[in-house]
Structure 1
Amino acid sequence: MKTTPFNALILALSIIVTSLILSNAFQNRNKAQNTISVTGLGTKDFVSDLIVWSGSFSKKDLDLKSAYANLDKDRESIRQYLISKGIQDDQIIFSAVNISKEFDNVYGDNGMKIRSTFTGYSLSQNVQIESKEVDKVEGISRRVSELINKGVEFYSNSPEYYYTKLKELKIEMIAEATKDANMRAKKIAENSESKIGDLKKADMGVFQIVAQNSSEEFSWGGSFNTASKRKTANITVRLQYETE
């Protein structure tokens, strides 16, 4: 096939374009390789400023009306007890009453029920307190046996502890983790006789809250401890820099 000036021009342009593409790909590959990836840690100890404590009480009677009356009496005793300990009335939240019929079942050797005897109505109710007076409510939860001595069948749950300024705390920790990661990147670059350039990528890790001075394990999905008043929060930030 005879080569014309036009065909020669097209061939030359093709070679030039191909060379540029390959050169650019090579430069980008080297550019991607000339990076530093580091992980910085931000950690803060804090004390919970909100407590949620709850408990339950119950009564049982063959007569539903009597069971209600006895439960009302216990509810008022609990209310007055908590108020006497310094809890505001509007902080005391009672749930709806749960009602169930209870039976005493007798079974034969073949596992079949022989008879069922009604033993009464069982009524139960929950009470919850949410307060920023953490120490006060915590103390009450530990002395709740005083209610039992008053004839109230009260079951106390362990208090749950929260922090109302998590948003501000998290921002502080991200800043700390970013600063830590930046210092690590600079140190790595210095040891390799280079400098860090532009920040190419930043990813935030999982936010964790665990009990202070504990062996509580971290979770991939993030842990959020509510059982301890004193907590430690952790967060990681991963940065990727170009190097010069």
Structure 2
Amino acid sequence: MRTYIAVAIAALGIMIAAALLGNAIKNRNKSENTISVTGLGSKTFTSDLIAWSGSFSKNSFELKTAYDALAVDRKIIYDYLKSKGVKENEMVFSAVDIQKQFRNFTDASGNYQQGEFAGYNLTQSVSIKSKEVSKIENISRNITEIINRGIEFTSSSPQYFYTKLANVKLQMIANATKDAKERAEKIAENAGSSLGNLKKATMGVIQITAPNSNEDYSYGGTYNTASKEKEATITIKLEYEVD
């Protein structure tokens, strides 16, 4: 009797082990039966915020004289920008940078020497941020109007930004996800299978470049500020089970 019981227990153990092994093989094959696809989402848009700056300077042997002359130039620049429609809260004048100047020379022995005091150089900058992009563009392009008033004004290139980038990013993620899923469905269909559960989704970084440019993408993301017109792209990688 004990022999029959032992045989029955052994047979039951073999059946359980076989079932577990079969289930493990099935799950292993199922986990390997996946496809990975990458979808692309892109959108072009026009910047709605511009940042522009310029600097101006004065030189004099007397610090107060240089400072007073710089203040006159600052008032002229301020009035000019106001006359062009720039709002007061859009303008920021920096602190005055003061540098002592020296005349340097090489002596008869060929040694470099620091010469006599040559006066003070005072420099100040003005920065503008505005949503009136076209207006500030025109001011930056016609800055010779300030130079013609006798002011040593150096203008920088405008920088362009977009304040609704979060909304653009959401749209691109949706488009990239849709694109990836459609690719996965097509691959599965061509293989005579169907998509199962989504196992994993990985989002790339947003890349913002000038449209139709050959700018390189960077690992941490690119943000072009030189172009008013922009193109943003993002990738989504999806991994599906295949039934």
Cα distance, 1:7–1:101 mapped onto 2, change above 3 Å: farther
**Cα distance in 2 between the residues matched to 1:191 and 1:111:** 81
DSSP 3-state at the match of 2:236 = strand
Cα distance, 1:21–1:115 mapped onto 2, change above 3 Å: same
Tell me whether 146-155 or 105-114 shows the greater mean CA deviation.
105-114
5+ residue gaps, structure 2, are none
> Which position in structure 1 is the counterpart of 2:215?
216
Report whether the alignment pairs 1:60 with 2:50: no
**Cα distance in 2 between the residues matched to 1:107 and 1:25:** 86
Identity %: 55
DSSP 3-state at the match of 1:213 = coil
> Which position in structure 2 is the counterpart of 1:176?
175
User: Residues 3-22 of structure 1: matches in 2 within 5 Å?
Assistant: 19=18, 22=21
**Cα distance in 2 between the residues matched to 1:163 and 1:9:** 76
Report the residue type matching 2:105 in the other structure: V
Once the two structures are superposed, residues 116-157 of structure 1 have per-residue CA deviations (whole angstroms, 9 ceiling, x without a partner) of 211111110110110000000011100001111000100000
> Which position in structure 2 is the counterpart of 1:29?
28
Tell me whether 87-96 or 46-55 shows the greater mean CA deviation.
87-96
**Cα distance in 2 between the residues matched to 1:148 and 1:96:** 21
Report the residue type matching 1:80 in the other structure: D
DSSP 3-state at the match of 2:212 = coil
DSSP 3-state at the match of 2:26 = helix
Query: 1:25: Cα distance to partner?
Result: 3.8
Report the residue type matching 1:86 in the other structure: G
DSSP 3-state at the match of 1:39 = strand
Cα RMSD, aligned residues only: 2.2
> Which position in structure 1 is the counterpart of 2:94?
95
> Which position in structure 1 is the counterpart of 2:78?
79
**Cα distance in 2 between the residues matched to 1:43 and 1:190:** 26
Aligned length: 241
5+ residue gaps, structure 1, are none
> Which position in structure 2 is the counterpart of 1:45?
44
Cα distance, 1:88–1:21 mapped onto 2, change above 3 Å: same
> Which position in structure 2 is the counterpart of 1:123?
122
TM-score by length of 2: 0.91
The answer on whether the counterparts of 2:102 and 2:114 sit within 8 Å (CA) in structure 1 is no
